[in-house]
């Protein structure tokens, strides 16, 4: 619908009004559950207008009726009395502001709950994307969509779009009342209407441009900030604080400049509208005052018209002010919908067996991340149930890619990767991920308790979690922390790197998958901790099919088969003894490992 770049950012081309209406229509499903609140807010608008319209008319009646009669000494028993007019005026005020309160509450209720639905939709949409989606997008930019961009919608949803309708209702109602009271005075009052239309249109275009810039530069600044926080230790260790601060300053300055000019036009629009309002009142006093002196209009009518002019410019001024927030919101909504339009999820099937045997096969698999540079070339492997296949080779040879294709983080050519004889693309994603557990080198822990980091929302019993931690050689850690219900700190700050690695193994033991992928599971830990990891790995491998990716060859000696990869191709295949006799690349890697003392 809109021209977008891969990140869902708005096009440089200006949106059309029809596109804006489509954007608003696309947001309607998030608001629909609260349509009764919207209806309540809409029903309150006529009462607001009637209460507001009645007040200047009652002032006119008071001045032209009992007040003028009292001043002339000719009271009229048929006219309103001052207490009656005052009471009616009070009722009009209560009606106006009471209905306004209902109106605002209903809109806020509908607006904020719809925003919560939108945030959940964005979050779920992003989490459901394939690995390629995250490879090409900064975390900070994605975070900006669910925070800054959604927040920009808040003001419009609570006071904006429906508020614009209310403002238009007020404007039309006031103009109808003015026309009913005096046609000529209304005509003089409308002399400035063309200027108002021109001013609002010119300012609207500028506000649209800078609103888009605000959303874009805010995402860039948020991304820079998030990356700096995530890599704070690296920044400090390499003395890069000043450079990082300078980069953030530059990104923040672009955002500041965009917001500066948006505020300039926003404030100028308010100021100009106030000036036009004063000019309109001056014209009314000049023309209406002359007619009042001639006796053509009453003083009460002139006062009522001045009040109506003041009142009509309130919604006009609010309407022009809402232009700024609506433009910002539409720019944000376009970016959000652009993100929701991106669908890089991998198609999934429906196969979800009750029992998984764990048979793995790769049949002449070719794969490239970017579509041009091959990472795997004609890889053919077969792993029977309960057997372990080790993948070794130089860095960049494609070892980890094999495991990513099995877990379907990336899509392999159709029917080339199978689990239990069924192509992985035919598996239901949840069933596939339950069948294949992964122990990674870089362990991600979440804020929460030790038990929660093992359970990961699966609803496992405490006994299962505790047993998994003991089997993963973490019994001492459980005792040190005081049980599985103790916090581990953000990112597992209370645990060592080896303990975090063992915790990732505990996750697999607790989940009990049929297939295990060990991805460099002992690459960054000391020898003593490695002994514990090796003991835990033995428990993980027992009775399970395994893919073992490792630089430390001590973790793969006992594999049933070892596949040696170089530049994406399998150059050797066999067990440890066979490959040592072959005296090829594997023997060279073993010799190098022995020289480095990592073969124990």
When pLDDT is cut at 50, 70 and 90, the band that residue 74 belongs to is: low
CA distance linking residue 341 with residue 4, whole number of Å: 10
Res. 347: pLDDT tops 70: yes
Average pLDDT over residues 327-345: 84
Residue-wise pLDDT for 465-474, tens only, equals 999 999 888 8
Q: Across 134-138, 166-170, 290-294, 343-347, which has the greatest mean pLDDT?
A: 343-347
520 or 521, greater pLDDT: 520
Q: Across 300-304, 460-464, 523-527, which has the greatest mean pLDDT?
A: 460-464
Res. 68: pLDDT tops 80: no
Q: Which residues 6+ apart lie within 8 Å of 74 measured at CB?
A: none
Task: Answer yes or no: are the C-beta atoms of 397 and 403 closer than 8 Å.
Answer: no
Res. 192: pLDDT tops 90: no
- In this prediction, residue 525 carries a pLDDT of 56
- In this prediction, residue 494 carries a pLDDT of 75
- In this prediction, residue 320 carries a pLDDT of 61
When pLDDT is cut at 50, 70 and 90, the band that residue 367 belongs to is: very high
DSSP state of 581: H
All domains of the chain in start order, with CATH: 17-341 (1.20.1560.10), 360-596 (3.40.50.300)
Could you give the maximum distance between any two Cα atoms of the chain, in Å? 127
- In this prediction, residue 555 carries a pLDDT of 66
Question: Which of 471, 466, 472, 401 has the alpha carbon at shortest distance from 443?
Answer: 472
- In this prediction, residue 420 carries a pLDDT of 95
Question: Which of 517, 312, 294 has the alpha carbon at shortest distance from 400?
Answer: 517
The continuous run of DSSP H or E covering 113 comes out as: helix 82-127
Task: Answer yes or no: are the C-beta atoms of 349 and 428 closer than 8 Å.
Answer: yes
Residue-wise pLDDT for 404-425, tens only, equals 999 998 988 989 999 999 999 9
Positive or negative torsion for Cα 86, 91, 96, 102: positive
CA distance linking residue 568 with residue 438, whole number of Å: 21
- In this prediction, residue 572 carries a pLDDT of 93
Average pLDDT over residues 174-203: 79
Task: Answer yes or no: are the C-beta atoms of 122 and 336 closer than 8 Å.
Answer: yes
Res. 178: pLDDT tops 60: yes
Query: What is the pTM assigned to this prediction?
Result: 0.69
- In this prediction, residue 359 carries a pLDDT of 95
Res. 64: pLDDT tops 50: yes
- In this prediction, residue 163 carries a pLDDT of 67
What does the DSSP assignment read for 515-571? EEEEESTTTTS-HHHHHHHHHHHHHHHTTSEEEEE-SSGGGTTT-SEEEEEETTEEE
CA distance linking residue 300 with residue 175, whole number of Å: 18
Question: Which of 401, 403, 399, 465 has the alpha carbon at shortest distance from 432?
Answer: 403
Res. 530: pLDDT tops 70: no
């Amino acid at each position: 619908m809109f021209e977008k770049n891969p990140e869902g950012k708005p096009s440089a081309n200006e949106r059309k009004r029809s596109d804006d209406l489509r954007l608003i229509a696309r947001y309607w499903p998030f608001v629909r559950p609260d349509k009764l609140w919207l209806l309540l807010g809409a029903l309150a608008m006529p009462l607001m207008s009637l209460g507001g319209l009645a007040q200047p008319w009652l002032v006119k009646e008071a001045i032209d009726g009992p007040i003028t009669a009292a001043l002339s000494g000719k009271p009229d028993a048929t006219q309103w009395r001052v207490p009656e007019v005052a009471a009616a005026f009070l009722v009009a005020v209560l009606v106006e502001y009471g209905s306004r309160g209902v109106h605002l509450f209903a809109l806020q209720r509908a607006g904020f709950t719809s925003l919560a639905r939108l945030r959940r939709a964005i979050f779920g949409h992003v989490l459901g994307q394939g690995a390629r989606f995250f490879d090409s997008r900064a975390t900070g930019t994605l975070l900006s969509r669910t925070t800054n961009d959604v927040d920009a919608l808040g003001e419009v949803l609570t006071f904006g779009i429906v508020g614009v309708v209310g403002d238009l209702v007020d404007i039309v109602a006031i103009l109808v009342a003015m026309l009913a009271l005096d046609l000529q005075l209304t005509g003089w009052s409308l002399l400035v209407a063309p200027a108002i239309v021109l001013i609002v249109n010119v300012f609207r275009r500028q506000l649209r441009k800078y609103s888009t810039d605000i959303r874009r530069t805010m995402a860039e600044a948020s991304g820079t900030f998030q990356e700096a926080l995530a890599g704070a230790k690296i920044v400090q260790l390499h003395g890069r604080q000043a450079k990082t601060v300078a980069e953030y300053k530059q990104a923040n300055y672009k955002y500041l400049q965009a917001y500066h000019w948006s505020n300039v036009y926003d404030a100028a629009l308010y100021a100009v509208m106030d000036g036009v309002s004063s000019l309109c009142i001056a014209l009314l006093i000049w023309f209406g005052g002359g007619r009042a002196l001639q006796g053509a209009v009453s003083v009460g009518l002139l006062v009522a018209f001045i009040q109506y002019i003041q009142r009509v410019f309130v919604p006009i001024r609010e309407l022009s002010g809402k232009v700024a927030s609506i433009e910002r919101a539409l720019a944000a909504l376009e970016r959000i919908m652009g993100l929701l339009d991106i669908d890089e999820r991998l198609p999934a099937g429906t196969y979800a067996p009750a029992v998984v045997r764990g048979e793995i096969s790769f049949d002449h698999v070719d794969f490239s991340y970017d579509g041009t540079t091959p990472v795997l070339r004609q890889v053919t492997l077969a792993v029977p149930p309960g057997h372990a296949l080790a993948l070794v080779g130089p860095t960049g040879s494609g070892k980890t890619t094999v495991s990513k294709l099995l877990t379907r983080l990336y899509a392999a050519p159709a029917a080339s990767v199978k689990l239990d004889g069924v192509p992985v693309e035919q598996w239901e994603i949840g069933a596939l991920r339950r069948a294949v557990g992964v122990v990674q080198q870089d362990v991600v822990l979440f804020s929460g308790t030790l038990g929660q980091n093992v359970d990961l929302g699966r609803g496992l019993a405490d006994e299962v979690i505790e047993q998994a931690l003991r089997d993963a050689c973490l019994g001492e850690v459980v005792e040190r922390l005081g049980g599985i219900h103790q916090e581990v700190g953000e990112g597992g700050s209370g645990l060592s790197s080896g303990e975090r690695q063992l915790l990732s193994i505990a996750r697999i033991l607790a989940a009990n998958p049929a297939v295990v992928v060990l991805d460099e599971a002992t690459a960054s830990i000391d020898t003593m901790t490695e002994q514990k990891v090796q003991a835990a790995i033995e428990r993980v491998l027992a009775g399970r099919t395994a893919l073992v990716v490792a630089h430390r060859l001590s973790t793969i000696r006992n594999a049933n088969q070892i596949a040696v990869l170089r530049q994406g191709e399998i150059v050797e295949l066999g067990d440890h003894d066979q490959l040592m006799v072959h005296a090829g690349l594997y023997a060279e890697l073993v010799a190098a490992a022995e020289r480095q003392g990592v073969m124990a």
